Amino acid sequence: MQNMAYMRPATRTAFCHFREGLEPLLQAQSQTLNTRDQDLFLIRLERYFADFYEPFARLYQARPDFETQLAKLGPLLIEHYANRAESLKKLDLERQLTPEWFQHETMVGGIYYVDLFAGTLRGVRQHLPYLQELGLNYIHLMPLLKPRPGLNDGGYAVMDYCQTNPELGTMADLEALTAELRANNMSLCIDLVVNHTAKEHEWANRARAGEQEYLDYYLTFDDRTLPDAYEKTLPEVFPEFAPGNFTYYPEMGKWVWTTFNEFQWDLNYTNPTVFREMLTYMLFLANKGVEILRLDAVPFMWKRLGTNCQNQPEVHELLQAFRALVRIVAPGVIFKAEAIVAPQDLISYLGTGQHTGKECELAYNNSLMVLLWSSLASRKVNLMTHTLRQMPATPIGTTWITYVRLHDDIGWAIDDENAAAVGENGFLHRQFLNQYYSGEFPGSFSRGEIFQFNPTTRDGRMSGMTASLAGLEKALADKDPTELEMAIRRILLLYSVIFSYGGIPLIYMGDELGLLNDYSYRQNLHKADDNRWLHRPAMPWVLAAQRHNLDTLAGRLFSKMQQLIKARCRTSQLHSAASVATLWADNPHIFAYLRYHPAYGRLLALANFSEQPQIISNSLLVENGLSGHICDVSQLDCPPVAVYNGQLLLEPYQFRWLIQKEA
Ligand code: GLC
């Protein structure tokens, strides 16, 4: 009993008590759990108990029902452990032996709406060969649990977490899919909406009926006093279609906290019952074979008067407590935080300070995504270089999700201070980006739409598919072959960075074929108000069928993307554990970063963000330890790279992944 020795006295006492309560329950499961299973459970319990108990106690110890609440968690863990399939228990063992599995350079992901990609969960299974052909092994399927009828925020308003959306298939279909993915070394990520439920969830129905127990699951107010006080410092997520953060329900005579849409009710995590209920859903989904839980809207889980009610310290306590308990039952499962927040708040979701190694394994590198688009519009990389140099390294055992586009809008999370440091005005730069990407700015190559313009703050965000924002839509409309070439290069440039900067890169469905904006949402009653549907097109399988024809646009992009993935997968310097250092190149248009892996050495990535050829001095290479025979491993034939007169040339929008060849 090694781990007990490290526990604080109060934690040790709580642990002994907790374990004593569980032992008879474990033994009662001897039909399903053999002695080895039981031993494993107890070893894990001891290993992770402090990680769970200490934040849980900090959150809830002051409550009179603390001990009762604590005691209710044990049986839940055992129940789900007993229900865990043998194949998943084997996966747990494998993952614990290879805890860095998701950091491998061979990890490449894609994001899909089940209905838009393949109709149903069974359809997804039929299309697995397509995903494999592209080279993916991490599949994020957008919300697929049972949503409320009608408007449902793209599935983020869930009324039943234990059922799939019946239009997509059944839980059995989901299990069959995860089994098939596992058999093919692919992992499934799904969304778990932890911050809110649909107002049609059973808890909400019972709250509406006046049951106090369920009113306590949500944040409700008899009058406007507190809502008004909170509103003073709360931003609005959807100022256009869902202004304000509270909704009045006359039938309840109460205001309900609704950060997002009116039909999404924020949960009350000051109530430990809510914690337990959400844990139950996590374990339930883990047992269906889901390997990555994308925890939706985590920054909003804890509210505090006088703040923006995001990123509160308690959010990290909650995440750590969840993390530890899921590790006891299903250590093969990892957490991905959906925290689209400012750079200084972002890293905490990967576990920093007292939470190091105990929070989420994955978080979205939102800053990188925003800065890529910022640089593409300005043709300058100063702001990106400066900002990324401020970002701390990812803690050991964690990594980023890197991406160019997702199903959401692009919020211009550009820090005023960082902008000022490179001589830019943050506000004006954000205005510029909206003008540029909506196509209003003279000479813009982009075709996007502004999302949720707030006339008070003049803030706006951006919707649009990668290809349309990168110039493909306009080039095709203008029948301009030069611009077409530039647009293709821009798309590949952006992807080259997310494939090599560090983390699991995610390809947004259709980007591999150059899919353009889908304007049909304007005719759909359930979508017309929300222009994020502009970049949520259906998968055009007819277009996909052209992917082997290199004379087509789709074929060119698909094969290039496939090659880049292959190049990434054989480049060990791109393992997530290899460090990344963003460098100042001596050219404001060239983004440069060094990946360093202690076993495999250095890789210098260069990316030209302008449509002009650019040169950099060879000294950048030499200073970063590259000399002699240099080759570009982003190309499958790894061509040697020539230096003339001490300078290296990059063609318009060219990128290079340089390594030194063994002499
Ligand atoms: C996340 C989702 C977004 C949704 C919101 C509310 O940010 O990505 O699509 O609107 O959560 O659930």
Residues 6+ apart with CB under 8 A from 358: 51, 320, 323, 324, 351
Q: What is the CATH number of the domain that holds 81?
A: 1.10.1740
Alpha carbon 153 to chain centroid, angstroms: 17
pLDDT at 642: 87
Which of the listed residues 228, 251, 266 is the one where a domain comes to its end?
A: 266
296 is catalytic: yes
Contact 326, 44 (CB under 8 A): no
Contact 386, 419 (CB under 8 A): no
Q: What is the CATH number of the domain that holds 246?
A: 3.90.400.10
Pairing of strands 138-141, 145-147: unpaired
- Is the CB of 403 inside a 6 Å radius of any atom of ligand 1? no
On whether residue 553 sits in a domain, the answer given is no
Q: Whose CA is nearest to atom 8 of ligand 1?
A: 408
Contact 498, 406 (CB under 8 A): no
* CA 67/CA 547 separation, integer angstroms: 60
User: pLDDT of 201-258, one tens digit each?
Assistant: 999 999 999 999 999 999 999 999 999 999 999 999 998 888 999 999 999 999 999 9
228 is catalytic: no
pLDDT at 663: 57
Question: Among the options 37, 51, 54, 296, which is catalytic?
Answer: 296
Place of tokens 């009179």: 64
- Is the CB of 297 inside a 6 Å radius of any atom of ligand 1? yes
Can you list the positions of beta strands (E) in 509-586? 579-583
On whether residue 7 sits in a domain, the answer given is yes
On whether residue 466 sits in a domain, the answer given is no
Contact 393, 579 (CB under 8 A): yes
* CA 78/CA 75 separation, integer angstroms: 5
Number of structural domains (the chain) is 3
What range defines the domain where residue 90 resides? 2-101
Q: If we measure between CA atoms, which residue out of 651, 645, 539, 608 comes closest to residue 134?
A: 539
pLDDT at 661: 87
Which of the listed residues 54, 86, 101 is the one where a domain comes to its end?
A: 101
Which of the listed residues 40, 68, 101 is the one where a domain comes to its end?
A: 101
pLDDT at 1: 59
Ligand 1: atom nearest CA of 407 is 9
On whether residue 19 sits in a domain, the answer given is yes
On whether residue 129 sits in a domain, the answer given is no
Residue 630 is classified by DSSP as E
pLDDT at 240: 86
On whether residue 20 sits in a domain, the answer given is yes
On whether residue 17 sits in a domain, the answer given is yes
CA 409 to centroid of ligand 1, rounded, Å: 10
Question: Along the chain (663 residues), what's the average pLDDT of each consecutive run of 10 residues?
Answer: 86 97 94 95 97 98 98 98 97 97 98 98 98 98 97 97 98 98 98 98 98 98 98 93 94 98 98 98 98 98 98 98 98 97 91 97 97 98 97 96 97 94 97 98 98 91 98 98 98 98 98 98 94 97 97 98 98 97 97 97 98 97 94 95 92 98 73
- Is the CB of 530 inside a 6 Å radius of any atom of ligand 1? no
Q: Whose CA is nearest to atom 3 of ligand 1?
A: 408
Q: What is the CATH number of the domain that holds 652?
A: 2.60.40.1180
On whether residue 60 sits in a domain, the answer given is yes
Quick one: tokens of 346? 């972002």
